[in-house]
Amino acid sequence: MKLRGKILTTGAVTAVVLMTFAPTASAGQDAYSEVPGKDGGVGVRFISNGDKFEICDLRDEGDSAYVEYEYVRYDGTVQRGEHRPDINGGHCKTYSHDFGEGRKVKFRAGQDIVLRPDLYGPWKTGIA
C-alpha cells in the first residue's frame, strides 16, 4: 500500500509540473457577419484556426458578395482590405491570412447591389 501511495503522489506532482510548464496556446475566436433582411444574401465567417475569411453568397440573386476587414498590427499600423470573390448563389470562397497571434480582426459582410447602395452586415470581431 505504501508503494501505491508513493506512485500516486509522484504522478500528481508530475502532472502539476507538466501543467505549469506546458506552453500556452492563444485561443482564437471565430465570428460571423451576415447581411440582414429580405434583400440580404451574404454571410462571412472569420475562422480563427488559420486566420481565414469564408465568404458565402447565400442566394442566387445576381449581387456580389464581399468582406471588408481591418486589424491593428503589432507596430500600431492598421491593415485594411477586402475580398471580392467571383462566386454566385450557394457557393463560398475562403481567403487565408497570417494575422498576429491573439490580434483582434474587425470585419463585416458586404453585398454589392447593382444600381443601389450596398448592403452591410454588422461589424464583428474575431481573434486570430
Span of 49-53, 57-61, 96-100 with lowest mean pLDDT: 57-61
Considering the entire predicted model, what is its pTM?
A: 0.76
DSSP strand pairing (124-127 vs 91-96): unpaired
Q: What percent of the chain has pLDDT over 70?
A: 80
Rg (CA), the chain: 22
What's the confidence (pLDDT) of residue 15?
43
Count the Cβ atoms, other than its own, within 10 Å of residue 39.
13
Between 113 and 4, where is the model more confident? 113
Domains, the chain, in order of start with CATH, read 27-127 (2.60.40)
**What value, to the nearest 5°, has the Cα angle with vertex 20 and ends 18 and 24?**
100
Percentage of residues in the chain having pLDDT higher than 90: 64
Q: SS3 for 33? A: strand
Tens-place pLDDT, residues 9-48 = 444 444 443 344 444 456 799 999 999 878 789 999 999 9
Report the pLDDT value the prediction gives residue 25, as an integer from 0 to 100: 54
